[in-house]
Chains A and B, each alone.
Chain A
Amino acid sequence: DVKVTQSSRYLVKRTGEKVFLECVQDMDHENMFWYRQDPGLGLRLIYFSYDVKMKEKGDIPEGYSVSREKKERFSLILESASTNQTSMYLCASGLVALPETQYFGPGTRLLVL
């Protein structure tokens, strides 16, 4: 079975702090994705990566950056957290051969005070 893990289930940070969210997948998938999930808005894509050191902006990249130094790990960085970044963050991974099918991690619920 595909396993996608996220470093934290819950995080509480203060406005202005730098926040790192880590995601690791164990299936050698080329693609990795970061979404945020907010009530009534569904999942919105922040960034995705199709290879090591490669990244593409999604629908809402503002205020975020990403890092993919190794194939199995994809990090989401909030350079200076703001209260409007309080959300559920979901990581996903998938194969290039099946680009549309994505496997999700359990999510990180981030609260920015």
Chain B
Amino acid sequence: GESVGLHLPTLSVQEGDNSIINCAYSNSASDYFIWYKQESGKGPQFIIDIRSNMDKRQGQRVTVLLNKTVKHLSLQIAATQPGDSAVYFCAENLENAGNMLTFGGGTRLMVKP
């Protein structure tokens, strides 16, 4: 079936570098995407979202890019800090799925000092 997935299960970056976490989705009917951050021992926390009528959205140190042509979503974190170490999930909402989200498997980001 159609699903949301991630290319890399683990990403290790040096403190201060930029991080890019990728997500592939296969359902072209998805119209809303969210990135969540989950720190150890905590529930997922909303980071940033983007609708399918946008290509890019920026937050504080984070940018989400959406490429609908290849069904690809990415989260960019600028000047990665130790506090960014966590598991990052992408999630999609289908236009006809009401309140339900479909989550990817997650990518673990490890920041080296």
Query: Measuring CB to CB, which residues of chain A are less than 8 angstroms from any residue of chain B?
Result: 4, 31, 33, 35, 40-45, 48, 50, 58, 90, 92, 94, 96, 99-107
On whether the beta carbons of A100 and B93 are closer than 8 Å, the reply is yes
The verdict on A40 contacting B105 (CB below 8 Å), with A48-B100, A58-B100, A106-B42 known, is yes
> How many pairs, one residue from A and one from B, have CB atoms within 8 Å of each other in the complex?
54
Q: Indicate the size class of the contact surface on chain B.
A: 20 to 34
On whether the beta carbons of A103 and B46 are closer than 8 Å, the reply is yes
The verdict on A100 contacting B43 (CB below 8 Å), with A42-B89, A42-B103, A50-B99 known, is no
Query: Measuring CB to CB, which residues of chain B are less than 8 angstroms from any residue of chain A?
Result: 9, 32, 34, 36, 41-46, 49, 89, 91, 93, 98-101, 103-106
Residues on A with C-beta less than 8 A from B99 are 31, 33, 48, 50, 94, 96, 99-100
How far is B96's CA from A93's CA once the two chains are assembled, in angstroms? 20
Name which of B43, B100, B106 has the most chain A CB atoms within 10 A of its CB.
B43
Name which of B32, B46, B98, B99 has the most chain A CB atoms within 10 A of its CB.
B99
- 5 shortest interchain CB distances as A-B pairs: A104-B43, A99-B99, A43-B103, A100-B93, A42-B103
